[in-house]
Structure formats: structure tokens, C-alpha cells
A and B are shown apart, each in its own frame.
Chain A
Amino acid sequence: MKSEKGTVSAYTIDFEPVGRRGKCHKSESLLACAHYVGIGINSICGGTGVCHSCKVQVLRGNVSRPTSKELEAFTPEELAQGWRLACQTYPLTDCKLSVPPESMTTLQRIQVEGKELRVEPELPVRAYQSAFTMPSLSNPKADTDRLIEELNHKYHIHCNTIEINVLRSLSLQLRSWDWRCQVIVRDDQVIGLNPWQTPLLGLAVDLGTTKVAAYLIDMNNGRTLAAKGIMNPQISLGEDIISRITHIIKSPDKSLKIRKLIVEGINDLINSLCIEVGANPEQIFDAVVVGNTAMHHLFVGLPVRQLALSPFVPAVSRALDVKAKDLGLCIASGSYVHLLPNVAGFVGSDHVAMLLATGVWQAKGPIVAIDIGTNTEVSLIRNGKITAVSCASGPAFEGGHIKDGMRAATGAIERLRIADNKIQYQTIDKAPPIGICGSGILDTLCQLFLSGVIDAGGRIREDCSRVRNYKRQREFVLVGEEDHKKQSDITITQRDVRELQLAKAAIRTGIQVLLEANNCTENQIREVIIAGAFGTYIDVASALIIGMLPSLPLDRFRQVGNAAGMGAKLALVSSTKRAEAQSLAARIKYIELGTAPNFNQTFIQTSYLGRYRIREGKREGVD
């Protein structure tokens, strides 16, 4: 941990709209500060003020005078509006900055982004500032009785119990704080004491199979103080949920280990979030966790075998409140963790959180809400009715099972266009290409289809340039030796195309089955909400052209980022939102995709590329 003394000459910099804060030393540029706290701001020229790619706008606070480089980069009007180059600017006070999207690198790909939602805090946990009378020989009342009586009297509340760990430390704490502190109360129980005038912190966590995102929240105003994501440490025991479950079934002693991995991962996240804002994990008095059903069960330590076998039943679907200590989370020892409700074995509380955050569950609709991942959950909302399916879309969009596929990281091709027989692509961090990630894979499929290299059935044509036979199958060379000399070629193979067809057909079939179950047609869909990391970065137009999504006008699609994380944040600060989550989850009717009437027929039809709609099991072309 950083010593408090070292921060005297440091200022707090607030980066919007990501909503992250970090300490910046006087002698550090805003760019250096951004990079230190992990915000990816472009710096193509390496911070020399030449490339002008690190533009930020100072919204509040004082900064150093513009350098000659900045006078070149901006008009006087822009400078007056606070526009600066982050690499040339040094803070003189605490500052609030706005970082425009064009200045952001794509480095931060572990999905923590999501719109900041405003909700009136209605805290399940309250902090009461109190100064207590000191004990004396004439008033030698027990510390606990004094605290409860004075608190109840002052705030007209009815506290009656004190959590055991609070009891154990209370006498010492009250004296060391001169009888002034905040009393943290949950359901008429004192669950902790906090120093006078320190913020009440909360934690929201989105547990994904691949990624874990955590948010540190100021409970009193609902603002995100810091956000951070990590790869799920359980990956070491299996990339996908099923292999982790199999692992546990084969050796039951591993279930403790697999639980420990995720708990330690979250605890590390808590620590680094707290370091970032100079807080103590003991100040976190409430937490909300969302995740897919399997991750939920693995985290709580519930049996998982029945999740992986038909009829795929969760051990628990209702919302849970579990003591943080019992889960092993290192936050205030008296605090609880609230877990939002699950829906079914393969539709978890993360989907509930997404529906909660986007508010679509109350819409008239029809609205389709999709969370794309290794497992893709789709809901159709119509007149207050919610129907959901889960599609086994597989890891292709995470780069898995694709010959040159990779996760969204430095050097991954994330966008691709073919124009005039030339391949143009963009890689993450503008690094030399080393592979291709989900959004790039989707673009590639679309571009190869549009340029006629792949036919509607998905077959790579033999007589096209850059197509070759290699190891008993055709492949298309995206990046050959002439483009980058050091590494081996990057190609899309016929098998890759088949994997993608299976993945996208699964998603489209899910949507189609929901439409049919609700007697809806595609054209009636008012809006399609796309959530999740992959969904955030895809080019929706590409997804339409390959027939992954219904062929609708582009303005009916909305990409919402990590909506599950947003939902967790809402539930953290609002009891009403927690209740809403419970009631919306109870309203969801789950359909098992494999048992839907036209499943096989639809699946086969939706494996075709192109824009089409499905009617009575047949494909009809759409312009």
C-alpha cells in the first residue's frame, strides 16, 4: 500500500466518462497518470506532443500553461474550452477530465465499461454520523448500550443487535476515534463502524466465465470511484464452465480449490480498487455479485453437477444474502453480499442484471436483449412478458476454436475490410498483427462473403486470389509473408468458417425460437439490445450481413457495453432495484432451445450467410 504521506504533492484526477479516479503526482503528465491508473489514452508519438492523439478536455481544476505543441494542436477557442494534450499537461490542483472516444486506445478490453446510470440511492445499508457522550463515573453505561441508545434516539431508528466482530472491536475503536464515528446499520443490526466522515463504499462484481469485472462505488451518490477487470483465475482449471464442472465432479476435493481461486481473484481486485482511490477494504460495507448460474454456484460453493445435465436445474435461483466473511471476501467483516437471482441453469443473474440496467423489462416491446458470449442469453420482452433462451454459441467469438483466433488483446485484428482486392485491417494498439479477435473474425466472415470468396453456404471458393489449400482444407490468407515477415501467416480456414456458422446460427436460432414462441415477426422488433464485451465492439452491420442478427434497420440496434455490471451497480445502491430484479427474474419464462418445435430446421437455415428472414422454417431473402 502507498503511504499517505507520499500523496501530499499528488492530485486526484477524475477521468470521465469512464468514471475512474487516480492520484497524479505534480511532476507527472495527465497522460502518465492515465496510464498509471490503467486508462488507455492514445500516445502514438510516445508523449512528445507530435501526434495529437491524446486530446482531453479539462472540465474542472487548474493545469499547467499550454506548451508550444498545444498551441499548434488547438485553436484559441478550443484551448479556452479546456482542450489539451494529455502528454503536455501537468495538474496544479485536483482535476476532472473528459476523455473523448477517439483518444481512447482499445487496450482496456476487459469489460468494465458501461454507461453510468443515475438512480436515487436507497441504501440497504446506512451510515449514521454520531458523536457519543463519553462514559464517566456518573454515567458508566456499557459501550454497546450507549451506542445503541444514543443512535436510536438521535435518528429514530430501531437498532437492536450488534454483529459479533463489531462487538469485539467497538470499545477500542470508539475510544481511538474520540467517540465520534459513523455507525453502519443493516436491517436493524449494527454491522460496522467507520471513521468520522469517510465515504461509505460498496462493491459490485460481474463474474464472467472468462472475465471478472469489479466496481468500487460511493454508496451515498452511486458514483463509480474505480473499475477494474481481470481474467477469471479459474481459467487455469478449464476454459469453459463445463470443463470446470467436470473437473469438480471427477475430483470433489477440487471444488474448494476452484472456489478459492475466484475468491482470491475478487479479493485482489478489491485491494487494487482500494489502492487506486486510497481507501481501505474495511470501508466496503455492502456488495452485489452477478454472474452466470455456474459461476454463481462455483463462487457460493453450491453443487454444480445438476447444472450440466438435462434438465439443467440450478441449486438456487432466488436472490441470496450471504455474509461476506462466509464467502471469504475481505471487506468489512460484518457486511453481507447480495447475489441477484438466477433464472435457469444457463440463464444467470448477469442476464437479470442486464435486463434491470437497460430497463427493457418494463418496455412494451417487442424488444430483443442479447448478451453474447461463449453462452449467449437472449430475452424477448413483449407486453410485460419475458421469454428467454440460452444458446451454445461456443468460444468462436472469443477467438476459441479458430486457427488464428485470439482474445481481444494487443496485436489482435479487430476490424477488417476488403476493398479493391486489398485487405485493410486495424489491430488493437496498432501493433503488428498476431491473430484475430471476435470483432475481427466477424468482419472477416462478412467481407469474404461480400467479396464472393465465401458462398452463402459458407464454402470457400477455390478460384479466388489468396485462397490456397493447406493441410487438406482451403484457407484464405489475411496476412501473408509480404505483410509481416517475422511470423507465420494469419489465415481463415474452411473449418474456422464452419465454427463461425455454428456460432452465429445458434444465436439467430435463439432469436427465431423466441419470436415464434411469441407469435412475433422480425419486423415487429422495435429494438435489439446487444450487451457484453464482444457485443460492444462488433460492427453490427457485419453481423447483419452474415445473418447472425435479424435484418432490421441499423438504428434499431443498441450496443450497451457491460450492462450486467451496470445492473449490479444499480442493485448495490438501491433496495428497490433489488426487489425489481427478483420480480423480473420470476417473470422470465425459460425455453429450452433444443426442445423448441422447429429447432433443427431453423438451425440449418440460419447457418446460411446473408440477409434473410425465416418464415415457417424457410429462408426468404431480404435486400
Chain B
Amino acid sequence: MSYTLVTALSDLREEEALKISEERLNSGENPQGILDDARSAMEIVGKRFEDSEYFIPDLVYSGEILQQITAMVKPKLKRNSQVERIGKIIIGTVAGDIHDIGKNIVTFMLDINGFEVHDLGIDVSEQKFVETIKETNINIVGLSGFLTLAFDSMKETIEAIKSAGLRDDVKIMIGGGQIDEEIKKYTGADSYGKDAMAAVSIAKAWLGGK
């Protein structure tokens, strides 16, 4: 069976994926095209994860393959076309919550989809979010929380952003656990995502809208 880079990477065939990348690179192809294919493959990986076909270790594995491809391609990229970043986002698990597996998956998916992610970690205080927004001027924020009571922390964080006079400058999405429209309203967020791929589409839509 012959693979393309898209099928090889999305089927997690490390050897084939690396071999095809190397061959294409050696044939003098524009490295950017290889990276674009890798990104398409990662979208398929994300979709399969969403459908439960892939699991957390598969995501990690796909990331490892991608990293090797990127490392191989990067030196060949022209200077002015560094691995391009389409946007920036601040993300963190809100105060009182320490779950980060879901948040890390979101970070990962955002990263491979071209976002520069400032991950603040777990149990992140309201002040920390506010300070980071001020320091970086990043205007997309993702609040993660798995505990039901994290919804209160999300609400408090968003209120803190408001009192700091920054609410109109940022778009805020929430995710993790059993979040729905009701909770979005309760916390005062702009949007919510059910899974990591949703976070990517929301963030992308916000980029387009600006």
C-alpha cells in the first residue's frame, strides 16, 4: 500500500511518514507544502480523536511524529517563512481545579493547528490571567475546568478581567467537563467547546472575525 504524507501521518505510521517527508524534501519540493500536508493530517487525527477512534496516547504519538517532521523540514524553510503562527492564545485551568489532561490536549491541538499557546498551567488565579493578558496583549483566552465548582472560578476570572477593564479586548472560551450553553451564560464567557477540535474552530473563527 502506498501512503501519502497525509494518510501516513493520520494513520500514525511513523516510518512511512518520515520517509515520505524526507523524499519530498530531497526532491526539492517547497518545504511549506510538506508542513501544510502534515497539518491536514493532524486535522484528521483530531477528528478521529473526537470520534473516540484515537485515544490520548495516539495524540501524543502523532505529536511526536509531527515534531520529527517539523525538525526535518524547518532548516530548509526560507528565513522569512518561519513556521508561521496564525494566532496566539492564553490558556489555563482555573483556580481551585488541578485537572490538566483535557487542557493539555486542547493546547496540543491548538499548537499543531498553528497557534502560539501561552499555557499558564493548573489552579491559575484570576490575577495571573489578568496579568498575562496585560503583559502579552493576547486577545483570545481559554479557561479550562473539569470540576463542577470550577464554573464559579471561571465566572470569577471573567469578572476579574472585566474589572481590570480588559473584557472588551479579549474573547473568552471555556471548556472541560460537562459544559453547556447554560454554563457559558452563567460564567459570562463568549463561547464554549465540547472538545479540543471545537476549541480550534472557535479560535480560528475569532481570528477571522477580527
Q: Hey, which bits of chain A sit against chain B, CB under 8 A?
A: 242-243, 245-246, 249, 305, 308-310, 457-459, 472-474, 493-495, 497-498, 501, 592, 594-595, 600, 603-605, 607-608
Contacts and interface: CB of A to CB of B under 8 A. Distances in A.
B23 interface: no
Contact of B147 (A309, A498, A595): A309
10 contacts: A243-B148, A249-B149, A308-B148, A459-B55, A473-B51, A473-B53, A592-B98, A594-B100, A604-B60, A608-B57
Contacts of B96: 309-310
Contacts of B98: 310, 592, 594-595
Contacts of B122: 594
Nearest to B48: A459
B92 to A, nearest CB: 14
A604 B56 contact: yes
B7 interface: no
B44 to A, nearest CB: 15
Contacts of B81: none
Given A309-B150, A459-B54, A605-B57, 4 more contacts: A246-B149, A309-B96, A458-B55, A607-B55
Contacts of B101: 600, 603
Nearest to A499: B52
Complex A-B, nearest 8 residue pairs according to Cβ-Cβ distance, in ascending order = A309-B96, A594-B98, A495-B52, A494-B52, A246-B148, A308-B149, A309-B149, A310-B96
Given A310-B96, A600-B100, A457 B148 contact: no
Contacts of B148: 242-243, 245-246, 308
B116 interface: no
B97 interface: yes
Interface in B71-110: 95-101, 104
A457 B57 contact: yes
Interface string B123-158: 100000000000000000000000111100100000
A498 B149 contact: no
B159 interface: no
Contacts of B51: 472-473, 494
Contacts of A603: 56, 101
B152 to A, nearest CB: 8
Contacts of A605: 57
Contacts of A243: 148
A471 to B, nearest CB: 10
The winner among B58, B148, B150 for most chain A CB atoms within 10 A is: B148
Given A310-B97, A457-B58, A594-B100, A305 B53 contact: no
B159 to A, nearest CB: 17
Contacts of B95: 310
B208 to A, nearest CB: 27
Interface in B1-44: none
A11 B98 CA distance: 59
Contacts of A498: 52, 55
B100 A607 contact: no
A603 B60 CA distance: 12
Contacts of A309: 96-97, 147, 149-150, 153
A593 to B, nearest CB: 9
A242 B147 CA distance: 8
B104 to A, nearest CB: 7
A481 to B, nearest CB: 25
Contacts of A246: 148-149
Nearest to B146: A392
Nearest to B54: A459
A607 B55 CA distance: 9
A245 B150 CA distance: 13
Contacts of A472: 51
B53 A459 contact: yes
B54 to A, nearest CB: 8
A309 B122 CA distance: 13
A592 B53 CA distance: 31
Nearest to A496: B52
Contacts of B149: 242, 245-246, 249, 305, 308-309
B95 to A, nearest CB: 8
Contacts of B150: 309
A595 B122 CA distance: 10
B57 A604 contact: yes
B99 A474 contact: no
Contacts of A595: 98
